[in-house]
Copies of this chain bind each other. A is one copy, B any other.
Amino acid sequence: MQTPHPPIPGNPSGPGRPGSAGSPGGSRLDPWVTSYAERAQGMTASAIRALFSVANRPEVVSLAGGAPFVQALPLDDFADTTAKLIRERGATALQYCTGQGDERLREQICDVMELSGIRAHPDDVVITTGSQMALDLTVRVFCDPGDVVFVESPSYVGALGVFSSYQCEVVHVMTDEDGLNPVALSEAIDTARAAGKRPKLIYTVPTYQNPLGITAPPARRTDILQVAKSAGLLLLEDDPYCLLGFDGEVPRAIRADDADGVVYLGSFSKTIASGLRVGWALAPHGVREKLVLASEASVLCPSNFSQLTVSEYLATAPWLEQIKGFRELYRQRRDALLESMEQMMPAGTTWTVPDGGFFSWVTLPNGLDTTAMLPRAVAGLVAYVPGTGFYVDDQGRDAMRLSYCFPEPDRIREGVRRLSGIIETEMELVETFGPTSNTGRLPRRGPRTPSPELP
Contacts and interface: CB of A to CB of B under 8 A. Distances in A.
Contact of A303 (B143, B234, B306): B306
A165 B284 contact: no
A44 interface: yes
A275 interface: yes
Contact of A293 (B44, B115, B140, B243): B44
Given A23-B120, A31-B260, A121-B20, A296 B451 contact: yes
A67 B43 contact: no
Contact of A297 (B161, B309, B324): B161
A135 to B, nearest CB: 9
Contacts of A194: none
Interface in A75-97: 75-76, 78-80, 82-87, 90-97
B70 A94 contact: yes
A277 B251 contact: no
A23 B94 contact: no
* Interface hub of A2, A164, A248, A256 (most chain B Cβ within 10 A): A256
A408 to B, nearest CB: 13
B91 A70 contact: yes
A290 interface: yes
Contact of A31 (B3, B43, B284): B284
Given A258-B25, A303-B277, A285 B79 contact: no
Given A296-B449, A299-B136, A94 B40 contact: no
A403 interface: no
Interface string A1-33: 111110011110000011111011111111111
Given A3-B250, A275-B304, A23 B285 contact: yes
A73 B4 CA distance: 27
B43 A94 contact: no
A24 B119 contact: yes
A275 B93 contact: yes
A141 B305 contact: no
Interface of A: 1-5, 8-11, 17-21, 23-33, 35-40, 43-45, 67-68, 70-71, 73, 75-76, 78-80, 82-87, 90-99, 110, 115-117, 119-124, 129-130, 132-133, 136, 140-144, 147, 158, 161-162, 164-166, 200, 218, 234, 243, 248-252, 256-261, 269, 273-277, 284-287, 289-290, 293-294, 296-306, 309, 320, 323-324, 449-452, 455
